[in-house]
Structure 1
Amino acid sequence: MIRPPEDSRKDRRKNPRKADELVVVSGASSGIGAATARALASMGYHVLAGVRTDSEAGTIRAGGIEPVTLDITVPQHVEALARRIADDPERRALRALVNNAGIEINAPVEVLPLALWREQFEVNLFGHIAVIQELLPFLRRSRGRIVNISSVGGVAALPVFGAYAGTKFALEAASDSLRREVSAHGVQVVVVQPGGVRTEMAARSGDLSLELAAGMSAEHQRLYSGLIDATVASNSASLERALPAAKAGAKIARVATTPRPRARYALGTDAAFIIPLTRFLPARLMDALLTMSHRSRKPKTASMPAPESAGSPS
């Protein structure tokens, strides 16, 4: 683990917070991550924007946004990010880390191959933990902030979303433990729980579910095809009225920089409605509420994309 150079309390008093400090945003090639990077840059921060390819770097590069190659499941990428921060030519502090990278591959629990369960946990949970472990020394020095992008699915798991929701439930729990561990060190940990947001990943997830469903056995087709079709159609319809990515990114940028943040923020009207219900409604009633809209819709057909990887935005 790369350690930041030591500084004294006197040095910190002479160098108060500045808007040109560093912020890391993973999964910044598009969607929520790109919007968050742009919003932070517009506030004057220098954003290290995690991307996977040169073409993605060219798309996101702008004033105040420096693309860095970052697949959060590759240790060498994470270590290189830490070296970039430690060797910053202007010796800027790391003000915040926004853990946004993620993938979403949805199928019934019985059907989704274990390899795809593991892939989602590697990206949506273990990759973020690896980045946190590497960058915490910098955040202790700056008394900075970690913003973990969870989901309404980290509180309420829809049918067919078991693996993705499982990763987000786990991220919620890890965030709680981390917040209680590092608050005495001056580091803040905040969770953002988006509902529906119009992003490329969200738009593609339904097509991927339908592709996986097409490969199911005849018995699994009989058991689950109607549920999968209805769930994909319902989620596709909800995206038409979902929060634009630019608005989500602007909100996350404010969460990352506001002086006294809450522990959690729901993002979008659907998240603000569903999350409180999970605290008060009996489980059977929540089951009915979360499945009632997934029974009659038919999906729109679309082309099949490849799964997104560890640098992709959630």
Structure 2
Amino acid sequence: MPAYLETFSEFTVFLNRILAWLDFAYHTRAKKRYSASVTITGASQGIGLATTRYLASKGYNFFAAVKDEVELAKLAEDITDDAHKDLAPCIHFVVMNVLEQSSTDFTLSTISSTVSKTPNSPLIALINNAGYCMISRMELTPPRALHDIFDLDCFAYLSTISAFLPLLKQSSGRVINVVSYGA
């Protein structure tokens, strides 16, 4: 890089810092008045766990849903370890087996009552991430296993969306579906 461009670049960085320091409004911006809520299924490992940690670190109230009590204990231990203990207050752990409508309905009522108690924390997103990875050659995969994958990655997602839609509509919320063979 020519010397004059490098000098110009350094000067603009310096100038931007001065301008930012002089911009009084920049330093006195109002704090965020609410912390939106997000629900994610399949939060105990992989993409779900990483997403839970990331969004909780950004200040979102998080409902981390897992399929059973064993996964719940594992997730709670993982989130409350020394490296991530500052995230724990933002995360609500819930059990929701997306393959069972009664479990989805119960979890939805729990989330709905929690969100309604804090009006400045609307549910803005449902992240459907529940799934499992089956590693086998196609010709060796039993048809029942394919049906199970399709039940989880299609029908369970649709029923979860259907259940959460009224709550999401209240805040113009969004649905994100994570579907892949290895997710």
TM-score, with structure 2 as normaliser = 0.68
Give the secondary-structure state (helix, strand or coil) at the position aligned to 2:63. strand
Letter in 2 for 1:65: I
For residues 105 and 166 of structure 2, the distance between their equivalents in structure 1, rounded to whole angstroms, comes to 13
The 5-angstrom pairing of residues 1-314 of structure 1 reads: 19-51=34-66, 52-53=68-69, 54-59=72-77, 60=79, 62-88=88-114, 89-91=117-119, 92-151=121-180, 164=181, 314=183
For residues 105 and 44 of structure 2, the distance between their equivalents in structure 1, rounded to whole angstroms, comes to 20
Identity fraction in percent: 31
Which structure has the larger Rg over C-alpha atoms?
2
For residues 124 and 19 of structure 1, the distance between their equivalents in structure 2, rounded to whole angstroms, comes to 32
TM-score, with structure 1 as normaliser = 0.41
Runs of 4+ in 1 over 3 A off after TM superposition: none
Give the secondary-structure state (helix, strand or coil) at the position aligned to 2:126. strand
Number of residue pairs aligned between Structure 1 and Structure 2: 138
CA contact (8 A) 1:25 1:100 kept: yes
For residues 87 and 67 of structure 1, the distance between their equivalents in structure 2, rounded to whole angstroms, comes to 14
Q: Give unpaired runs (5+ residues) of structure 2.
A: 1-31, 81-87
For residues 101 and 141 of structure 1, the distance between their equivalents in structure 2, rounded to whole angstroms, comes to 24
CA contact (8 A) 1:22 1:94 kept: yes
CA contact (8 A) 1:102 1:124 kept: yes
Give, in angstroms, the shift of residue 18 of structure 1.
5.3
Give the secondary-structure state (helix, strand or coil) at the position aligned to 1:110. helix
Give the secondary-structure state (helix, strand or coil) at the position aligned to 1:104. coil
Give, in angstroms, the shift of residue 108 of structure 1.
3.1
Give, in angstroms, the shift of residue 57 of structure 1.
4.0
For residues 147 and 42 of structure 1, the distance between their equivalents in structure 2, rounded to whole angstroms, comes to 19
Letter in 1 for 2:136: A
Give, in angstroms, the shift of residue 98 of structure 1.
0.8
Give the secondary-structure state (helix, strand or coil) at the position aligned to 2:51. helix
Letter in 1 for 2:174: R
What is the CA deviation profile of residues 93-124 of structure 1, one whole-angstrom value per residue up to 9, with x for unaligned ones? 11111111111213333321111111111112
- CA-atom RMSD in angstroms: 1.9
Give the secondary-structure state (helix, strand or coil) at the position aligned to 2:56. helix
Q: Return closer, same or farther for 1:38/1:19 CA change in 2, 3 Å cut-off.
A: farther
